[in-house]
Structure 1
Amino acid sequence: MESVKVNTSQHVEIDYPVSGLGERIAARLIDLACFIGLYILFIVLVLMTGLSGLSDASPYIFYVVIGLYFAAYVFYNLICEIFMNGQSIGKKLMKIKVISLDGGQPSIGQYFIRWVFRIIDFGMTGQVGGLICIAVSEKKQRIGDIVAGTTVIRTVPRTAFEQIAFRPVEEDYVPVFNNANELSDRDMELIHEVLITFNKTHNPDLIYTMAARISAHLGISLPEGMNELDFLRTIVKDYNYTTSMA
């Protein structure tokens, strides 16, 4: 998963999971779908009430409503991003948001600049200029993002807790295999990858092969009543405990 390195105002570099091109396209399509839905609803209401009746009530109502609709369409992204913390409806559903390159929330000026440059990113380039720029730029920025000093990131954590290889162990934990710290970090990463793969595929051969490799490397045998899966899980806990206590 790609990430963007952001320098915060405290001069600390933080890696954020950057939004992919597909997610940004999907968010834009969702936003467009919302406006298409509203437009269809408006047409249906006009047909139900009768266009002539609406015009008789006030000859300007129809045009005022159409004008408000297109004004909402033009200013939609700017208003949403300012008042929805860098998100539109589409971005919120896709779990992405706009941030400043200093790691904070963009200013109104930054939102305004990236909104103005939609003319170049989408209007003047047939909807493809911004997409090409996102695809080739280092920080996945469209032209408006580059000028405004912003980018778009994912709002969900990249890694769930159960996917973390090196977890803290309880202080009162008693290790089963005291020489587990003879393994390397790479060995532990491989064990972790095998456990994750087993949970997805339920292929026991992966567990048997890795358990045999680890037990041979450490010169130990599996205790009576402990299967290969429990052995690998125990090795992970023992390694985390012994290395944290070192």
Structure 2
Amino acid sequence: MSELVTGEAVALELRPARLPSRALAVLLDLVAAVAVYVAVTIALVAATASLDEAAQTAISIALFVLVLVGGPILVETLSHGRSLGKMACGLRVVRDDGGPIRFRHALVRGLIAVIEILMTFGVVACIASLVSARGRRLGDVFAGTLVVRERVPAGQAGFVPPPPPWLSGRFSGLDLSAVPDGLWLAVRQYLTRMGQLDPQVAWSMAGRLAADLADRTGAPVPLGVPPAAYLAAVLQERQVREARRAFGHAQAGSGGPVAGAGGTAGSPGGYVPPVYPATAVVPDVRPVVHPVAGAGGEQASPPQDGPGGRPSTGFAPPA
């Protein structure tokens, strides 16, 4: 199990695929590729019997490159990281931040696989996976990808809650190109685990992540928007853009639910904030507005107790 450790020493786990399941997926992919290669070779030999030996050799080399190298690259690109073997084993190739891979990621993985899998019979890939903390082979390291388990028990699946309805579509104009993959991963993992954290720790982490995200986008956090709600809204906007790029159109509107790390969709009723324990008593009832370091703006303080001693969610829309 790989972990990302935050500044508050809170471990947020990932679900990388283990070496045996990855090896089985690669074996199934190779069997399918070799079967296609043999079938196409037989057909070409019959069709090019009248050509000279040099032409037949050139066609054989081109066929090898197209089927055994270009084939896996094409399949991973079109299936967004799910080859035949990975689908059978419940695996998927994703970017380091959990997003879908693109052609350049599949290209780097496919080219390096020629050396570490085909030419060395998988020895280099196995050694690299055993040495890596997250089980990555050299192709994953250079491509910035990770093979993760898609099929996990429902109770263990991460859940990224959707933002409040009053924030839907508010950040559609943000420039997200400067946000690194590591920050997106930290935001995604925080949102899936914030309900399990101490309220003060959760609020501090959300404020720091929101400040970092605002610095990267060049726009301050809107006044009165809680940091966790801001993170959820910006992450949802990014997922909508990824869906447009991957599928040609938005799979979810700016106000729809956001899928979590385990593929579970959020409740359409709005943001589901963490449940704060009844023992957490904060003396002041009113939210205090204070600046966030590095964000260039201001946002509300941690949620306070509401009337009657009931814990306040802190996600009420600004006046």
TM-score, scaled relative to structure 1: 0.50
2:142 is the alignment partner of 1:144: no
User: Structure 1: how far apart are the matches of 2:105 and 2:123?
Assistant: 22
1:99 aligns to what?
A: 94
Match in the other structure for 1:86: 81
Q: Which residue of 2 aligns with 1:216?
A: none
Match of 1:37 among 11, 35, 39: 35
Aligned runs of 1:148-227 on 2, under 5 Å? 148-157=143-152, 159-161=153-155
* CA distance, structure 2, for counterparts of residue 153 and residue 127 of structure 1: 19
1:113 counterpart (98, 108, 111): 108
Q: Distance in 2 between matches of 1:45 and 1:125?
A: 29
Instruction: Give the distance between the partners of 1:98 and 1:6, measured in 2 at CA.
Output: 19
Q: In the aligned structure 2, how far is the partner of 1:38 from the partner of 1:117?
A: 21
1:15 maps to what in 2? 13
Match of 2:125 among 122, 125, 130: 130
Residues 1:14 and 1:110: Cα distance change in structure 2 (over 3 Å): farther
Give how far 1:123 is off: 4.4
Name the CA distance, whole Å, in 2 between partners of 1:36 and 1:124.
15
Q: Secondary structure at the match of 1:87?
A: coil
Partner residue in 2 for 1:227:
none
User: SS in structure 2 opposite 1:17?
Assistant: coil
Shift of 1:42: 4.6
Matches within 5 A, 1:47-86: 51=46, 54-55=47-48, 59=51, 66=60, 69-70=63-64, 71-86=66-81
Q: 1:146 and 1:13, CA in 2 relative to 1: closer, same or farther beyond 3 A?
A: farther
The one-letter code sitting in structure 2 at the alignment partner of 1:94 is: C
Distance 1:93 1:16, change over 3 A: same
CA contact (8 A) 2:34 2:68 kept: no
Superimposed CA distance per residue, residues 42-101 of structure 1 (whole angstroms, 9 cap, x where no aligned partner)? 577689xxx4xx457x64897787456421211122111111111211111111011111
User: Are the structure 2 counterparts of residues 69 and 134 from structure 1 closer, same or farther at C-alpha, using a change threshold of 3 Å?
Assistant: same
Aligned to 1:24: 22
Are the counterparts in 1 of residues 73 and 106 from structure 2 also a CA contact under 8 Å?
yes
Give the 3 Å change call, closer, same or farther, for CA 129–64 of structure 1 in structure 2: closer
Q: In structure 2, what is the Cα distance between the partners aligned to 1:138 and 1:37?
A: 34
**Structure 2 spans left out of the alignment, 5+ residues:** 158-276, 280-319
Bigger Cα Rg: 1
Q: TM-score, normalised by structure 2?
A: 0.40
CA distance in 1, matches of 2:17, 2:139: 16
Deviation at 1:13, TM superposition (A): 7.8
CA gap of 1:62–1:117, structure 2 versus 1, over 3 A, is: closer
CA distance in 1 between counterparts of 2:70 and 2:44 reads 24
Q: Deviations over 1:117-165 (max 9, x none)?
A: 22442245442001111112101101121122211001112x244x99x
- Determine the C-alpha separation between the residues in 2 that align with 1:46 and 1:121: 29
